Chain A
């Protein structure tokens, strides 16, 4: 079991960027009411053929040189299925790739969510050439933010300017805090 779900999101987004995506949609749903945690990452990268798609879910396949195993996707899939969830991955060559991982919110082994605001900040700042389109959906409401949307707000200021990052961090934390994105009190049993 991996420490938190943010780890898997970052891992998948890295794959998307490596595949040449310039738009990545990240949707995280955390619903106590539906007893569901859902991670969806869709990209417009170069995609994969059916054979490669099958092999990326195989723990003994990796495109990284010098490494025998690429475990990010297989681990994500295993954890989701173990937590009474679901895992779906599809891809079209030249179009992009879509991943959806569901976890039962109340399953005791569902990892904590992790630091979502910090993760989004890092993803946006580290890949200025990629439009990160982020949606957080909880029982309390929905929050949308994207690299494109932020660029509109900051005009010709640089995305990685300290003032911009500072504003962005506060903006993300405030909005997510209001919508129960606490990294610890997330999936898993409510501490007694």
Chain B
């Protein structure tokens, strides 16, 4: 599913518009070592962490986009770095659990009649 479609259907704000890539999965984690070990490539990553290392990890793992949850907002130097890397950064007032559910329904919709 194209990142743009997900953004259009989500209650979020686009802070940095990066490449419009294919989103093949999602991952929710606030532990960077866990993301490094387990996040699938092309996933949309949900976290409430907002510091510079988040951008480094997203770049290394070829993450499709970062969603910073819980109303958290990365500082300008972090956003600038994301811009340099072509990475999309979204923020949302929703908590990780809620936004995770919304994205999951988009990526894996229930078939009609179920």
Q: Report which A residues bind B (CB closer than 8 A).
A: 1, 3-4, 107-109, 111-112, 184-185, 188-192
B49 to chain A: which residues have CB within 8 Å?
Answer: 1, 3
Chain B, residue nearest A107 (CB): B33
A3 to B53, CA, bound (A): 12
Top 5 nearest A-B pairs (CB, nearest first) are A191-B56, A184-B52, A188-B53, A108-B32, A112-B51
B55 / chain A contacts, CB cutoff of 8 Å: 191
A111 neighbours in B (Cβ, 8 Å): 51
Within 8 Å of chain A (Cβ to Cβ): is B77?
A: yes
Subset of 28 A-B contacts with CB under 8 Å: A1-B30, A1-B31, A3-B51, A4-B51, A107-B33, A108-B32, A108-B53, A109-B31, A109-B32, A109-B33, A112-B51, A184-B52, A184-B75, A184-B77, A184-B78, A185-B52, A188-B32, A188-B53, A188-B56, A189-B57, A190-B56, A191-B52, A191-B53, A191-B59, A191-B81, A192-B56, A192-B59, A192-B60
Task: Say what secondary structure dominates the interface of chain A.
Answer: loop
Residues on A with C-beta less than 8 A from B14 are none
Taking CB atoms, residues of chain B closer than 8 Å to A112 are: 51-53
Chain B nearest CB from A96 CB (Å) reads 33
Asked whether B10 is an interface residue with its Cβ less than 8 Å from the other chain, the reply is no
Contacting residues, chain B, for A3 (C-beta < 8 A): 49, 51
- Excluding A188-B56, A191-B81, 6 further A-B contacts by CB distance (< 8 Å) are A1-B49, A108-B57, A111-B51, A112-B53, A191-B55, A192-B56
Which residues of chain B are near A185, meaning CB under 8 Å? 52
